[in-house]
Structure 1
Amino acid sequence: MKIVSIHQGKTLPLPLRFFIAMIPGALVVISMNQFAQPYSIVLAIALSALVPAVWFATDILTIDLEEKKIFNGAWVMGFKFGRVTSVTSIEKVFIHRIETKQTTYSLANNKNISTNYEYHTFLKLDSGEKFFMFSHPVRERIIEKARQAIHKLELSEETLVLPD
């Protein structure tokens, strides 16, 4: 059975995960004033069970070559939420260079523009549908990761399209 899973990072950003983790604590403090102590303890246990689900939710791309299916979605505490796409064949894996610009202003009204590049790797099917695989700011590292993914998917080296 040939299944390749690519973890794309956390579903929620870190500040939002901290904020959501503090909500059960605040609700427990409020419930201590509103309800009897046994009910507040039960509520605290129930709410605290949700924190790991929010904290460890991960975006995942799973490619099953034997059943010819691709799953793209979130993986939360062993449960998968997302969509499954049927695959006839994989056309190519390509790397796209994305330019990001950040403009900063100083008190003297000077303007600085910082330009950075980030590389994104996509999987393209024969049907034309594209799936994001992973990203990295260093060109050599993204090419190395893409070659590892191609090797795991048992594709030929010609399917990898490199950036300019």
Structure 2
Amino acid sequence: PFVLANDEGQDRLIVCIDKGSSLLSETGETKLFDEKGEPTEYTQNCIKFCDDFEAERRRTDSFVQLLKDNDLFELKTAIFTPTDAAGNAGPPQTVAEYYGVSEEKLNALPVDKLRELQTNGALAQIYAHLVSLVGWERLIALAMVRQAAAAGVAVN
């Protein structure tokens, strides 16, 4: 029930509480404020979580902007090829279209730009992203197996 909002006049963020949330109760065991009106440890932890979340959001925005500035994005497609019970491949199915880092564009960057990306830590993040793309087909297959199992259907 906590969210950060901009305090326009002060150039800061403030924590807002959704008083209508079913997660909150006037008679609950966990108090948000103590007898003096100060935030409890629980509330302080919630505020810290919101602050940390915002810091990560800003870091993500900065990273995405860096990728845009270096023209590293390209449209990608996640494709899954299902197999029947005998293991025969069916027609490929497009599962998602998304923007990801182009290995070709990354490899075409000048050495000084690659060194800059390495120095600021972005290159490691880019390679982590590229490695994660390899897992699409396995992840989709796992999801299909789970979905079929929930429906009581055997999957090869």
Instruction: State if a TM-score over 0.5 links the two structures.
Output: no
Compute the TM-score of the two structures, normalised by the length of structure 2: 0.26
Compute the TM-score of the two structures, normalised by the length of structure 1: 0.25
More contact order relative to length (CA 8 Å, sep ≥ 6)? 1
Structure with higher helix content: 2
Structure with higher strand content: 1
